[in-house]
Amino acid sequence: MMANEVRVLALAGIAQTAALVQQLARRGEVQAEPFRWAIRSALVLDSNDVRYILSGCGGVYLGLAQLARPGRAEPASLERLRYGMGLIQLQKNLRRAPRHMARIRERLLALALDPDADDGAGGGAIQTLAELYNETLSELKPRIMVQGERRYLESTEVPNQIRALLLAGVRVAYLWHDLGGRKYQLFLHRKTIVETAGSLLRNQVAT
């Protein structure tokens, strides 16, 4: 896989997080498989291989599908873009907060050693990730403001799922930046991103 493809794969992880957060906030439910892969990615700490961390194209197929669509200025798309940009900004701010970085790594390492957490969908893992988000990333500004249906956002389960996703999304955004990903590319290189995401998605379907 070429460097640009790996970078788009990481970007798909960000896009997938944004889409899943929107699903939870607006509908109170989420696509189970992409959600499981997203949470699981936060627990893979023994590798710098983005393909392994994200479980390849299959692990971020929802995000690839989002990137492969030509941009449309509709409310739902703009909302997902706002979440994605928020994740990218949070990872940037996290780099300036070494105490929070150390805390996140410490807790994730402990969680990754828990055999029950490997599935990525267990309530214990989600609860821990949500608490870790509250203790660290929620203190950084600007905060990501999630909009949706009040009955879901005021429940117990959905906010925890959203916070767990946001933490996992910041991890992927961090990796994307390390791969050379920058905000301006989302606009100046939009056509290339769409084409690359489409190619990766087609290859995934063909395999």
Domain residue spans in the chain? Answer: 3-206
Over residues 54-72, the pLDDT tens digits come to 999 999 999 999 999 977 7
pLDDT value of position 17 = 99
- Residue 37 to residue 60: CA distance in whole angstroms: 8
Averaged pLDDT score across all residues of the chain:
94
pLDDT value of position 87 = 98
| 8 Å CB contact between 146 and 21 | yes
pTM: 0.95
Q: And the tokens for 139?
A: 């203190």
Residue 206 has pLDDT above 60, yes or no: no
Residue 115 confidence class, pLDDT cut points 50, 70, 90: low
3-class secondary-structure state, position 72 = coil
Share of the chain above pLDDT 90, in %: 86
| 8 Å CB contact between 14 and 167 | no
| 8 Å CB contact between 88 and 173 | yes
Q: State how far Cα 194 lies from the chain centre.
A: 18
| 8 Å CB contact between 95 and 137 | no
| 8 Å CB contact between 11 and 169 | no
More confident residue, 120 or 151: 151
Q: And the tokens for 202?
A: 């087609």
pLDDT value of position 120 = 60
Helices in 28-156 by DSSP H: which ranges?
Answer: 32-41, 50-53, 56-59, 61-68, 75-94, 98-112, 123-135, 150-153
Contacts of 93 (CB under 8 A, 6+ apart): 140, 141
Among 81-85, 121-125, 151-155, 174-178, which is the least confidently predicted range? 121-125
Over residues 24-64, the pLDDT tens digits come to 999 999 999 999 999 999 999 988 899 999 999 999 999 99
- Residue 181 to residue 188: CA distance in whole angstroms: 12
- Residue 196 to residue 124: CA distance in whole angstroms: 36
pLDDT value of position 131 = 97
Residue 121 confidence class, pLDDT cut points 50, 70, 90: low
| 8 Å CB contact between 97 and 135 | no
Query: Which fold does the domain 3-206 belong to in CATH?
Result: YcfC-like (1.10.3890)
Q: And the tokens for 137?
A: 């990333």
Over residues 90-110, the pLDDT tens digits come to 999 999 999 999 999 999 999
Q: State how far Cα 173 lies from the chain centre.
A: 7
Q: And the tokens for 130?
A: 């949500």
Q: How many CB atoms lie within 10 A of CB 132?
A: 22
The whole-number average pLDDT for the span 154-159 is 96
pLDDT value of position 73 = 76
